[in-house]
Chains A and B, each alone.
Chain A
Amino acid sequence: MTRIDVIDALLGPESAAAVAELRGQKPELATQMQDYYDAVFEPALDSAEALAPSERWLIAVRTAAHTQSDTVVDWYAEQARQSGVADVDIARARDVTTAWNDNPRSSAIVKHVDLIVTHPVDSGRADIEALADAGLTPAGIVALSQVVAYVSYQLRLVAALRALGEPQ
């Protein structure tokens, strides 16, 4: 079975074609990047119980929105929509000027995501305790961190590949 390569999808057909030869020099690295995506966004049952896939898609939207990485935001917004997340929640995730206050869990998650995307150096032990107080288990806290970390890397790899694929 040929799996989708999300990096190619984010690059779009033109840029993906322009860097295909370059990426093709190390095919296992593309596979491993996709495996990491799958581990983060298609979690096993125990991990999905700690942080739901719908929460992961919204965290990814929010992460990419901070750098105005529009194609990446659109990708995760579409995944969120397909998994049944309401449009109003997706719109709120995209708008980084808006916090969420509807329940303690989601407002704690969004507050933490905004902090660790934009000022990771300012986070502290109390921020982890706040997540635990909002009901996140250690598995949920780490899964949240992995979603932010994955997307922070992915959007920069895509930006680098897009630049490499520009005509010289």
Chain B
Amino acid sequence: MSEPQFTLDFLDWIPWAPRAIDTDLPPERRAEIEAFVEGKNASDYLLVLANDFDSLQARAFVHRHVYATEEPTQSGYRELGATTTSRINGCVFCASVHARHVANYLKNRPLAQRFLDQGLEADLPVMERAIVDVCAKLTQEPESMAGADLQPLRDLGLTDIEILDILNYAAFFANANRLMLTLGEPAAQKKIR
């Protein structure tokens, strides 16, 4: 198994399971699914998840979870949590999306690129380092998480709601990565954006 190639580029996603709309569906279900995916990105991914529509719909609300704020720096930290989980799990698609968000919110594309290239060992500023470390622990050894692991973030001035915001999103990508990695695969984008 070769090391996945992480990238900041936009990617497509090729499903391995049939899309719900290509299966035999009652008309009401079909209409419900078409309304849900309309205007959304990664629609093939959503259309595969739509084979179990109720869980897709409930999950969509959870995905929009924000505990702290939409303020750019905190959003960048939250996205770094998602990128950390995705980098560890090998989810090239999720990592590309969320590393782009890191680059945009923190106005630091070189940092996002370096983290994708070098992973957990990348040279990072002190706050980003502390976020990556605690999110890595949550991903790899959730049951050994303790209050002491949060101290570096508290010492750097993050509040508990901001820490929860980051950890919740990092945890959510344990979910997202497993769906994206196991129901299909990323591919270089063919269409021009």
Residues in A lying within 8 Å of B, measured CB to CB = 22, 25-26, 29, 32-33, 35-36, 38-40, 43-44, 47, 50, 67-70, 115-117, 120-125, 127-128, 137-139, 141-143, 145-146, 148-150, 152-153, 155-157, 159-168
Where chain B touches its partner, the secondary structure class is helix
From B17, B54, B90, B160, A121 is in contact (CB under 8 Å) with B90
List chain B residues, Cβ under 8 A from A149.
174-176, 178-179
Q: Are A160 and B138 in contact (CB under 8 A)?
A: yes
Given the interface contacts A160-B145, A160-B164, A164-B150, does A152 sit within 8 Å of B54 by beta carbon? no
| A-B Cβ contacts below 8 A, count | 163
The size of the chain B interface, using a CB distance under 8 A, is 54
Alpha-carbon separation in the docked complex, A141 to B23 (Å): 14
Q: Are B59 and A36 in contact (CB under 8 A)?
A: yes
Q: Are A47 and B142 in contact (CB under 8 A)?
A: no
Given the interface contacts A142-B48, A145-B178, does A156 sit within 8 Å of B91 by beta carbon? no
In the complex, what residue of chain B is closest to A33 when comparing beta carbons?
B62
Q: Are B54 and A159 in contact (CB under 8 A)?
A: no
Which of B104-112, B113-121, B123-131, B165-173 has 4 or more CB atoms under 8 Å from chain A? B165-173
B75 at the A interface (CB under 8 A): no
Where chain A touches its partner, the secondary structure class is helix
Q: Are A35 and B55 in contact (CB under 8 A)?
A: no
Contact mask for chain B residues 49-88; partner A; CB cutoff 8 A; 1 contact, 0 none: 1011011011101100111000000000000000000000
B42 at the A interface (CB under 8 A): no
Contact mask for chain B residues 1-22; partner A; CB cutoff 8 A; 1 contact, 0 none: 1001000000000001110100
From A142, A156, A164, B49 is in contact (CB under 8 Å) with A142
Given the interface contacts A159-B138, A166-B147, does A138 sit within 8 Å of B18 by beta carbon? yes
B182 at the A interface (CB under 8 A): yes
Q: Are B147 and A153 in contact (CB under 8 A)?
A: no
Q: Are B172 and A123 in contact (CB under 8 A)?
A: no
List chain A residues, Cβ under 8 A from B55.
36, 39-40, 43, 47, 142-143, 146, 150
Given the interface contacts A116-B182, A153-B175, does A163 sit within 8 Å of B147 by beta carbon? yes
Q: Are A47 and B52 in contact (CB under 8 A)?
A: yes
In the complex, what residue of chain A is closest to B172 when comparing beta carbons?
A153
Q: Are A36 and B61 in contact (CB under 8 A)?
A: yes
